[in-house]
Amino acid sequence: MANKVNKKYLVILTGAGISAESGLRTFRDSDGLWEGYDVTEVATPMAFERNPQLVLDFYNMRRKDVAAAQPNAAHTGIAALEKDFNVTVITQNIDDLHERGGSNNVLHLHGEIFKMRSVKNINKIFDIKGDINVGDVAKDGGQLRPHIVWFHEQVPMLEKAVEVVENADIFVVIGTSLQVYPAASLINYAPKHCPKFIIDKNIPHAFGISNITAIEQPATIGVVELAKHLSQLLSLPNE
Ligand code: APR
């Protein structure tokens, strides 16, 4: 959190909705079906045990989709806020569109599609651009799997994310249905006094959060509006 004294600390929690305008499907806009798959059928350790190739193929397809997608104006608009703010993005997304959009501090809560690891070691992570198949093993002999946090698995970055949110001067939520825990609970750690914004095409129920401004817009338009609100905040005298 360098520069915190000079710039306000802006923390942005994002979900699938921010990448929707890049052509990547959200989860719950399509009844829990993702490209025809029931997410709970493929995004669990049990599914991987039952049918590892199905799960690997599912993520191999996701990897291709993400590689073909481009960051949109919401991703680049967030990166541009680094000029005036000390920004950390906490994303539930496994894509790398925040990074490619120019954001420098991105914390991936649910893993990353371009990373993989052995089933035997959660800590040794490798880059992967192509496919992973059954029989592809790491040096430790363990089957390789995507570095993705599946349902029923721990969220190793959660503690770090909580610490980030607790230190926010301004907190923003973009494009998440806030239905998946513990990610959704992060919003409760934002300091009471800090201004909060939520951008979504259909604003989800925000659990009686105080001091929150709703911007009911697609992310690309919402981030432009957000930037206007934030520049107004900057022009206010410091308390
Ligand atoms: N702009 C802004 N918001 C949008 C847009 C858009 N163009 N399109 C859709 N949305 C909103 C929807 O209204 C919804 O509130 O994005 C949200 C997407 O919600 P989900 O599909 O539930 O995605 P998310 O909240 O990221 O899911 C959380 O669930 O399956 C797991 O691990 C997976 O990280 C994922 C987690």
Other Cβ atoms within 10 Å of 112 Cβ, number: 21
16 and 127 within one domain = no
110 is catalytic: yes
| 130, 237: one domain | no
Could you tell me if 83 and 56 lie in one domain?
Answer: no
31: pLDDT confidence band, cut at 50, 70 and 90? Answer: low
15 with 31, same domain? Answer: no
C-alpha to C-alpha distances, 22 to 39, 98, 155, nearest whole angstrom: 20, 11, 26
Q: Which of 75, 98, 108, 110 is catalytic?
A: 110
**Distances from the Cα of 98 to the Cαs of 74, 87, 107, 143, 179, in angstroms?**
9, 12, 10, 29, 22
**Quick one: 161 and 210 in the same domain?**
yes
Tokens in use for 132? 């992973």
**Ligand 1 touching residue 72 (CB < 6 A):** no
CATH classification at residue 125: 3.30.1600.10
Dist. CA 96–CA 78, nearest whole Å: 14
pLDDT digits 0-9 by tens, 37-75: 777 778 999 999 999 999 999 999 999 999 999 999 999
Copy the structure tokens of residue 189. 């750690």
Examine the domain organization and report whether 143 and 205 are in the same domain: no
CA–chain centroid gap for 211, Å, is 23
If asked whether residues 178 and 224 sit together in one domain, one would say yes
Cβ contacts of 217 within 8 Å, gap of 6 or more: 199, 201, 225
Tokens 């923003």 sit at which residue? 172
pLDDT grade, residue 1 (50/70/90)? very low
- Give me ligand 1 centre to Cα 204, in Å: 10
Helix (H), strand (E) at residue 201: none
For residue 180, what is the domain's CATH number?
Answer: 3.40.50.1220
Segment holding 23, helix H or strand E: none
Q: Which residue's alpha carbon is nearest to atom 1 within ligand 1?
A: 218
Q: Do 195 and 125 fall into the same domain?
A: no
- Left, alpha or beta for 36 (phi > 0: left; psi -120 to 50: alpha)? left
pLDDT in tens, 138-183: 999 999 999 999 999 999 999 999 999 999 999 999 999 998 889 9
* Domain total in the chain: 2
- 123 and 104 part of one domain: no
Let me know whether 46 and 105 are in one domain: no
Range of the domain at 31: 26-68+116-148
Across 92-230, the runs of DSSP E, i.e. the strands, are: 106-108, 111-118, 125-127, 144-148, 170-174, 196-199, 212-215
Q: Which residues contact 186 (CB under 8 A, 6 or more apart)?
A: 13, 90, 161, 162, 165
Tell whether 170 and 234 lie within a shared domain.
yes
CA distance 109 to 104: 16
In this structure, the answer to whether residues 78 and 130 fall within a common structural domain is no
Give pLDDT tens digits for 192-228.
999 999 999 999 876 667 789 999 999 999 999 999 9
Q: Amino acid identity of 208?
A: G
- How many whole angstroms from 208 Cα to the centroid of ligand 1? 20
Any residues with CB less than 8 A from the CB of 228 and at least 6 apart, and which? Answer: none
Give the per-residue pLDDT at 2.
45
237 C-alpha to ligand 1 centroid (Å): 35
